[in-house]
Homo-oligomer: A and B are copies of this chain.
Amino acid sequence: MELTERKLRILQAIVSDFITSAEPVGSRTLSKKYDMGVSPATIRNEMSDLEEQGYLTHPHTSAGRVPSDRAYRLYVDRLMDRVELSESEKRRISEHLAGNIIELDRTIEHAANILSEITNLTSFAITPKQDENKLKYINILPADESTVVLMIVAESGKVKNTVLQLKAPYHEESLSLLSKAMTYNYRGKTISDIMTMDIIRNFETDIEAMSRLAESIMPNFVKTLESMLDINLYLDGLTNIFSIPEYNNLEKAKTFLEMVNRRNNFKDVLVNRDEGVVITIGAENSEDLMRDCSLITATYHINGKLVGKLGVIGPTRMKYDKVTSVIEYITDNLSRSFTLP
């Protein structure tokens, strides 16, 4: 039941032709454009076999053939070639990601940005899960008579701050004391540890002023920690779908946009994907709404540990070779710039 050399060649021709033209491809076109050395009739016979084996489908009797998910899978696994990015593309990418400031979130946003521009698809990126991230220190700084800034710094370099409105004025010394006490207590613990264990309740101190301060700050400390756990999702190139023939009817465009806009749902899908480059084609996606889409993701690393993801979503007919190369190139770049020397 293995495919012959010729069948493979025909299949490859059909897939690449359909990927660029979006039109069902017929036997005549095939034999002309790709000089296969055989006549259309022969190709028809072969195509008929391929259809029987589930690699091709037939929108209707008198239309050409269209690759099935299975054909794309074969194409991705065995037929497609690596694509080397052009110099100008490489330059564009590095320029977008450059900068000696490590601004994690912004850099990732830019990565999603450039990805959608180069691929003309809808791109996305998520920031790493932070739950294994350890706290480095906590700082509470004065801002106003009754306003303070709570600042939490994690070992990864992630910083989060919240402006807090206190009910009463405070003493600056209490602030720095409390900062030190909290840092002493929580340093080196992971964020999720702090959240799940009961250490927060047990935070007690004998110094009266500090204890009152702690009372109003602790709940917000927890909230801020919580928000540090949040995974950010960046989407870009949403309107690109309008130039893709697959979405040239309202119903489909709507479905697509609504699917991607269910951000939490979409985040979950991304979080649960494996590391490395992962391609899921059409019905291989577990989500019903994604059955007509292909998803390509790759992972980037921060200091070789924390893992975030980046990728594109689009119709099953997409330039798998090119897109994969771009995504890999970008995630490599990201990992490198997020790794301290």
Contact = CB atoms under 8 A, between A and B. Distances in A.
Given A101-B220, A157-B144, A261 B248 contact: no
Interface residues of A, number: 36
Nearest to A102: B163
Contact of A250 (B100, B101, B136, B250): B250
A257 interface: yes
Interface of A: 100-104, 136, 139, 141, 143-144, 146-147, 149, 151, 153, 157, 159, 161-165, 220, 223, 238-239, 242, 248-250, 253-254, 257-258, 261, 340
Given A141-B151, A149-B159, A250-B253, 12 more contacts: A101-B165, A101-B223, A139-B141, A141-B153, A147-B157, A147-B340, A149-B153, A151-B151, A239-B258, A239-B261, A242-B250, A242-B253
Given A101-B163, A102-B165, A157-B143, A238 B257 contact: yes
B257 A239 contact: yes
Nearest to A155: B144
Contacts of A104: 163
Given A151-B151, A257-B238, A164 B102 contact: yes
Contacts of A147: 102, 157, 340
B153 A159 contact: no
A258 B241 CA distance: 11
Nearest to A162: B101
Nearest to A160: B161
Given A220-B101, A242-B254, A250-B250, A159 B157 contact: no
22 contacts: A100-B164, A100-B165, A101-B165, A101-B220, A101-B223, A102-B165, A141-B151, A141-B153, A143-B159, A146-B340, A149-B151, A149-B159, A159-B163, A161-B161, A238-B257, A239-B254, A239-B257, A239-B261, A242-B250, A242-B254, A242-B258, A250-B253
Contacts of A340: 144, 146-147, 165
A336 to B, nearest CB: 13
Contact of A261 (B144, B165, B238): B238
A144 B136 CA distance: 9
A162 B159 CA distance: 8
A146 B157 CA distance: 11
Contacts of A102: 147, 163-165
A151 to B, nearest CB: 7
Contacts of A223: 101
A139 B239 CA distance: 41
Nearest to A136: B143
Contacts of A153: 141, 143, 149
A161 B141 CA distance: 13
A128 to B, nearest CB: 15
Contacts of A146: 340
A49 B253 CA distance: 42
Given A151-B151, A153-B141, A164 B101 contact: yes
Nearest to A261: B239
A144 B158 CA distance: 11
Given A139-B141, A141-B153, A250-B249, A162 B103 contact: yes
